[in-house]
Amino acid sequence: METKAVKNAALQSYQLLRLVWNRALRYQVSLRAAHLTLATLLAAVPIITIVFGILRLTPAMVAMQDSLVAYVEAHLAPGSSSTVIPYLLSFSEQTKNLPAAGIATLILTALLLLNSFEGSVQAIWQIKQRRKIRERLLTYWAILTLGPIMLAVVMSLYGTLLSYQLTGNYIPSVLEGLFEFSSYVVYFLLLFTINFLTPNNEVKVKLTAISAMLGAIAIVLLNSVFANFAQFFASYQIVYGAFAALPIFLIWLQVSWLIILLTVSLNATLHKLDRYKEHSKLE
């Protein structure tokens, strides 16, 4: 009986993976990931400017900016973020000297990236009805706002844990284990937010959480691969010098977007299967 159950579970998993892969091929997920990678390069500075602008709204979050930057450098694009991110932050600081029209253009660039991502999500979900402009702007603002706030909260909790460790206070093993996987928690929350808010459809929390969980694991594995095989990129550094960080960052960005869109494809497939089950029960 157990062997049969394992075989059935393996068969169902294979069928699910095939459905997700067919959906990804049908809606050109790899091409959309490449498009979003290019759009991200254009929108990186505006998004960083908006995020840091949000963090400056409260004194508590301002104090966490340096810790947040260090956290991002440690967990995003291992092997290249320590070179690329300081440049992006420097460019972001220079936006303070822009006139109002320039700042409006930067904000528009960030919104265009989110609009492009939303278009990809709606296509993968096979949703033809687009949101009204007001609803889309509110969704974009929620994504831009919740993202940095969640990062700030994780950093705050992480700092609290560190202070407890330094003072020798007792910390429950569950909490300690959770903070050891802080990067996984951040990825999960970000993937869950964009998968839950972006589709213009009824989205279930459980199915979205499953998709976000698998996507978070994939991104953690991706970062682990980049961190462990950094020595293979040494030849790029010999030829390109500091510029070698850019192709590494681009590869990481492309694969990250591919993982994100695959989680969207998985989420859409799970919801479609769930609707079939409900329809069959009604019949």
Query: Are the C-beta atoms of 268 and 127 separated by less than 8 Å?
Result: no
Please give the share of the chain, as a percent, with pLDDT higher than 70.
Answer: 60
* pLDDT of amino acid 283: 47
pLDDT value at residue 32: 92
pTM: 0.80
Q: Would you give the distance in Å from CA 144 to the centre of its chain?
A: 12
Instruction: With a cut of 50, say whether residue 116 has pLDDT above it.
Output: yes
| Amino acid identity at 44 | A
Greater confidence, 149 or 14? 14
Which residue reads 């996987």 in tokens?
181
Mean pLDDT for the stretch of residues 158-168? 58
Query: What is the predicted pLDDT for the residue at 215?
Result: 94
Element (H, E) at 50: helix 29-55
Residue among 194, 167, 199 nearest 272 (CA): 199
Buried/exposed 119-141: b ≥16 CB within 10 Å, e otherwise: ebbbbbbeeeeeeeeeebeebbe
* Tokens encoding 242: 């500091």
Higher pLDDT, 72 or 38: 38
Q: By C-alpha distance, which of 236, 259, 239, 188 is closest to 80?
A: 236
Any idea where the domains of the chain sit in the sequence?
A: 2-282
Least confident of 9-18, 64-73, 158-167: 158-167
Buried b / exposed e across 183-195, counting CB within 10 Å, b at 16+? Answer: bbbbbbbbbbbbb
Task: Encode pLDDT of 220-277 as tens digits.
Answer: 888 888 777 665 665 666 666 666 667 777 888 899 999 999 999 999 999 988 887 7
User: Can you say how many angstroms the Cα of residue 39 is from the centroid of all Cα atoms in its chain?
Assistant: 15
**What mean pLDDT, rounded, does the chain reach?**
76
What residues contact residue 149 under an 8 Å CB cut-off, 6+ apart?
54
Label residue 11 by pLDDT band (50, 70, 90): confident
